[in-house]
Amino acid sequence: MKKTCCWFVLLCGALLWLPACTTVPQTGRSALHLVPSSQLASMSASQFGQLKQETPISRDPAYNAMVRRVGDRIAYVAGPDMPNAQWEFVVFDDDEQINAFAMPGGKVAVYTGIFKVAKTDADLAIVMGHEVAHVAAGHGNERMTQQLLAAGGALALQFGTSDMDSDQRALLMAAYGAGASVGVMLPYSRYHECEADEIGLIYAAKAGYDPRAAISFWARMAGQSNGAPPEFLSTHPADSTRIRKLNELMPKAMQVYQNR
Ligand SMILES: [Zn+2]
């Protein structure tokens, strides 16, 4: 029992010590982030490095130039929200993958399949703005925090009747590690999707891209769902709710676009 108490004291200490409560930029929402952002960035950097070794990288000059051009402008406007980012943009060569993602620390990847749907720089700015917004808003950290607390809670129940041995300790670390490794790939909650749409739309507008491109982009994305739906669509439903909310955000985004 003594060891269990020690464990709780340690956990509580960690909760108090870590810079836990933060505010999401742009929306001002409070969120709980228990994973130090420097740790998240270094985990992401090593995962990104591994992905680059496992996935063929596109050498298409037009695609690479487009991603670099749009990425630089999105990184510039998102910069104040991600001051420690080490930006990196990679085009993965896979025409079947209609997908893109961003990882903590400013690692951004686009699969060549996305160009079936993202035809212009403005279209790509909608995708990259959205993905970078997930990172700027700390959605990965928030989700990992939830997993960590859930794992801690479940383990705490288990430890209520016995002391923690090395196996249980390993289980906690595995739960933490699993959260860390899939943290960037799992679908976000509906709430996070809305928030990333909102922040991403403003990023695109600030970067000089017509935010109205979002409406036609998502309509085209929805059109891709015939047959095998694209990867991006499985985590980003292009339904009427999304389009309606984007339309609601449009006047504010247009104001940013026109007054920049
Ligand atoms: Zn998203």
Question: Is the pLDDT at 158 greater than 60, yes or no?
Answer: no
Active-site residue, selected from the candidate residues 54, 88, 96, 131: 131
The residue with greater pLDDT, 161 or 51, is 51
* C-alpha to C-alpha distances, 143 to 112, 182, 184, nearest whole angstrom: 28, 10, 9
Q: How far is the CA of 134 from the centre of ligand 1 (A)?
A: 7
Q: Any idea where the domains of the chain sit in the sequence?
A: 37-138+186-258
Q: What is the mean pLDDT of residues 58-85?
A: 97
Instruction: Identify any residues that bridge with 32 across adjacent strands, giving them in sequence order.
Output: 21
Q: pLDDT, tens digit, for every residue of 185-213?
A: 456 778 889 999 999 999 999 999 999 99
Can you give the pLDDT at residue 181? 46
The residue with greater pLDDT, 251 or 51, is 251
Q: Which of 75, 94, 185, 182 is nearest to 136 (CA)?
A: 75
Mean per-residue pLDDT over the chain, rounded: 82
Can you give the pLDDT at residue 10? 54
Q: In the 3-class helix/strand/coil scheme, how is 38-77 assigned residue by residue?
A: HHHHHHHHHHHHHHHHHCCECCCHHHHHHHHHHHHHHHHH
Can you give the pLDDT at residue 231? 76
Question: Is the pLDDT at 182 greater than 50, yes or no?
Answer: no
Q: How far is the CA of 193 from the centre of ligand 1 (A)?
A: 5
Quick one: tokens of 59?
A: 């050498």
How many Å apart are CA 15 and CA 10, to the nearest integer? 9
pLDDT above 70 coverage of the chain, percent: 77
Question: Quick check: is 131 catalytic?
Answer: yes
Question: Is the pLDDT at 162 greater than 60, yes or no?
Answer: no
How many Å apart are CA 155 and CA 169, to the nearest integer? 9
Alpha helical stretches, state H, the chain: 2-17, 37-54, 61-78, 121-136, 139-159, 166-182, 190-206, 213-223, 231-235, 240-258
Q: pLDDT, tens digit, for every residue of 225-260?
A: 666 677 788 788 878 889 999 999 999 999 999 999
The residue with greater pLDDT, 241 or 66, is 66
Q: How far is the CA of 120 from the centre of ligand 1 (A)?
A: 20
Q: How far is the CA of 146 from the centre of ligand 1 (A)?
A: 18
Instruction: Identify any residues that bridge with 91 across adjacent strands, giving them in sequence order.
Output: 110
